[in-house]
Structure 1
Amino acid sequence: MKGAVHSIETFGSVDGPGIRYIIFLQGCNMRCRYCHNVDTWAPKREDTQFLDADELLDKAERYKTYWGNDGGITVSGGEALLQIDFLLELFTKAKKRGINTCIDTALQPFTRQEPFFSKFEELMKVTDLLLVDIKHIDPEAHKDLTANDNANILDGMRYLSDINKPIWIRHVLVPGITDDDEALRKTRAFIETLGNVQKIEVLPYHNLGVYKFKELGIKYTLEGTPAPSKERVENAEKILRGQI
């Protein structure tokens, strides 16, 4: 089995604990208006690499001496869970090699229906940590921002809490869209229902991916949106962490 790989980062320091070997898989059903990897949306491109699990792990282990006690591999995207069969094989083999495993996901494909759910259950047995995005707590605002509902995403987070699978929560702060104090407090109220949250990160919006939209002929709908101020980022962090 081979995975559709968009790119690889060998020394990642912000996508999980320690130094990470990050595998970006191709394909995503979300259409986030601020996406900086819009070139990962399509299931495959002319430059897509098709690699099997052993090929990827052999490449990753060249950097194992830099990982320390906390590092390992992180699979991101795109949306990694769209290639769940490949991901299950990759992580199963990674654990046999003693490699720490992490998934960076929006949980958009999550469902309790089969055949996905049984595969997800098995995947969680070989996954150490998930980095999970909360794009927006309000379903209509979430759909406007990503072209997808968030009901199954929140359900996926509840399931991860039920099985006590550790997660880090990430929230991209976009002025005028995701930085509303009321929405942030509702997000905090949801987080408080979960028992598996190890860390909460606020990621300031940036427009570094705009050129990719233009190259692909996709309209960028957040043109002119500024980065959030330091004060607004700190405010969001305090609200989401229950400090105010």
Structure 2
Amino acid sequence: MLNLKPSPIKTAENILRVHSIESFGTHDGPGIRFIVFLQGCKLKCMYCHNPDSIATSGGKEYHIEELVQMAIKMKSYFGKKGGVTVSGGEPMLQAKALISFFKRLKEEGINTNIDTNGRILNHFSTELLDDYADLIMLDIKHMTEEGYIALTGKPNKEIAFNFAKHREDSGKKMWLRYVLIPGITNKPELLHALGKHFKDYKTIEQIELQPYHKLGIHKWEALGWDYELKDARENTEEELIEASNILSNYFKKVKVN
């Protein structure tokens, strides 16, 4: 007789809706990372390179134990620094299930990291942040309200700053990320404003500058969406150096990805 193993019962606490998975990631946290890109985001950033991850109805359902077992198979590659990064889309939309996922990862001794836009700070996300996330990487979109709305399609940039303050108060590690778009976000006054806002934070280990690129344009076109930054150019080496030099006045470490 066949001894068939019953399928895991799916609940809101143990299912994650996943856009894609990447093994051996090196730009999404410390060391080598197993990266789970979750489906769904409330923002529609003009430069999004995964616009197909925005819709909350897409993606593939994974039981968290499936993902845990995948991560366990990667443990020998993680070393002392590596681990699992959850990105998106926006991970905090699925914070309830991420608590269960990260709890299991911690049981297996696996480092946990969240790449987030900081728009969601509720009971589930604060529990996830305070108890189970070893690191968060917070995406700072823009330093003015007008610029934030133009880039993301949503108002209230202060939500992300409140998110950062919560993390700072917890005393746990945080990295910042900032996309450098020529003529839009790379202006010296914006970079100084960014530095001044966060200069006294003790939990920020580094800020990562993300040079602007157009790798996601074909995905926008496939969705039938207009890519409004098609005329924007990529950063020059001089612009990257200038931005890095400005931010070095405020942060312990500035990294250009």
TM-score when normalising by structure 1: 0.94
CA-atom RMSD, angstroms? 1.3
Any conservation in 2 of the 1:201–1:237 contact (CA below 8 Å)?
Answer: no
Q: Which residue of 1 aligns with 2:230?
A: 223
SS in structure 1 at match of 2:207: strand
Q: Could you tell me which of 202, 219, 232 is aligned with 1:212? A: 219
Aligned equivalent of 1:192: 199
Counterpart amino acid of residue 100 in structure 1: N
* Equivalent in the alignment of 2:56: 43
Q: Distance in 2 between matches of 1:64 and 1:10?
A: 11
Matched, 1:144 2:150: yes
- Write the distance in 2 (CA, Å) between the matches of 1:243 and 1:195: 12
In structure 2, what is the equivalent of residue 119 of structure 1?
A: 124
Q: Distance in 2 between matches of 1:238 and 1:164?
A: 27
Structure 2 counterpart of 1:108: 119
Is structure 2 residue 166 aligned with structure 1 residue 166? no
Give the aligned partner of residue 245 of structure 2.
238
Does the 8 Å CA contact 2:199/2:250 hold for their aligned counterparts? Answer: no
Equivalent residue number for residue 136 of structure 2: 130
Query: Does structure 1 conserve the Cα–Cα contact (< 8 Å) formed by 2:96 and 2:125?
Result: no
Q: How many residues align?
A: 236
Q: CA deviation at 1:243?
A: 6.7
**Unmatched 5+ stretches in structure 2:** 1-13, 252-257
User: Displacement of 1:78 after TM fit?
Assistant: 0.3
Between 204-213 and 160-169, the greater mean CA deviation after superposition: 160-169
Quote the offset at 1:121 in angstroms: 2.8
Looking at CA atoms only, which structure, 1 or 2, has the larger radius of gyration?
Answer: 2
Q: How does 1:10-21 map to 2 (within 5 A)?
A: 10-21=23-34
> What is the distance in 1 between the residues matched to 2:57 and 2:22?
19
Tell me, which stretches of 5 or more residues in structure 1 are unaligned?
Answer: 111-115
1:5 CA displacement: 0.4
- Supply the AA of the counterpart residue of 1:83: Q
In structure 2, the partner of 1:58 is: 69
